[in-house]
Amino acid sequence: MKQIRIFDEKFVSLVKKTTMNTNLQNKGNDAQGKPDHGEDNEKIITLVIVVNTTPTTVKINENAPLKAAAEKALEQTHNTGRPLSDYELKLNDQVLDMNKKVKDYGLKDGTELFLSLKAGTGGAN
């Protein structure tokens, strides 16, 4: 009985080591974006972008930068003639960095974003 228990412990240890190595290898594959993990990279989400109070729906890959979604929204609402840098994209009145990816802000399907043309110089000095 005692010999059998020793064998069991060695066997369990061997199985643990093998499992760890396999997990490490899988993690490495993930980092390299192997095709068998490609589903995550292709996730498309639908955003509602309100351009100067006109809402429009934009489908976008969550790995794309927000500026791609903003440009689509401007095109769809025929707001041309001004560069994207003249606009601000907001979520709940907080200005978003349009160079960041859609997924960086954890945006979900149907999230409402507000794209506004910045106001020119005015007001009291």
Partner 1 sequence: MEQINPAIVIEVAPAVSLASASANLQIIDPAVSQAKFEEETKLFLNSAGLHRKRGIIVLDCSFPNIKLAFCARQIIPAPVVFAVNINYTNYDMEALSVKFINPFTFELITLQELRHNFSRKVPIGNGQMRRQNLALGLPDGTPFICLPGIREYHKHSDHSNDPWLTHRGKGGEGTLGFIVDKLHQYGIAAINGYHLPLTIPEVLLGIDLNKLPS
Enter the tokens of residue 24.
């490490």
At closest approach, how far in Å is the CB of 72 from partner 1?
15
Which residue type does 120 have?
Answer: G
Q: Is 87 in the site for partner 1 (CB under 8 A)?
A: yes
- What DSSP assignment string belongs to 16-80? HHHHHHHHHHHHHHHHTT-GGGGGGGG-EEEEEEEETTEEEEEEEETTSBHHHHHHHHHHHTT--
At closest approach, how far in Å is the CB of 16 from partner 1?
55
At closest approach, how far in Å is the CB of 92 from partner 1?
10
Buried b or exposed e, range 6-37, using 16+ CB within 10 angstroms: eeeeeeeeeeeeeeeeeeeeeeeeeeeeeeee
Q: Is 55 in the site for partner 1 (CB under 8 A)?
A: yes
Q: Is 85 in the site for partner 1 (CB under 8 A)?
A: no
Name which of 62 and 72 has its Cβ closer to partner 1. Answer: 72
Pick from 3, 32, 80, 99 the residue near partner 1 by CB under 8 A.
Answer: 80
Pick from 12, 14, 44, 117 the residue near partner 1 by CB under 8 A.
Answer: 117
Name which of 3 and 94 has its Cβ closer to partner 1. Answer: 94
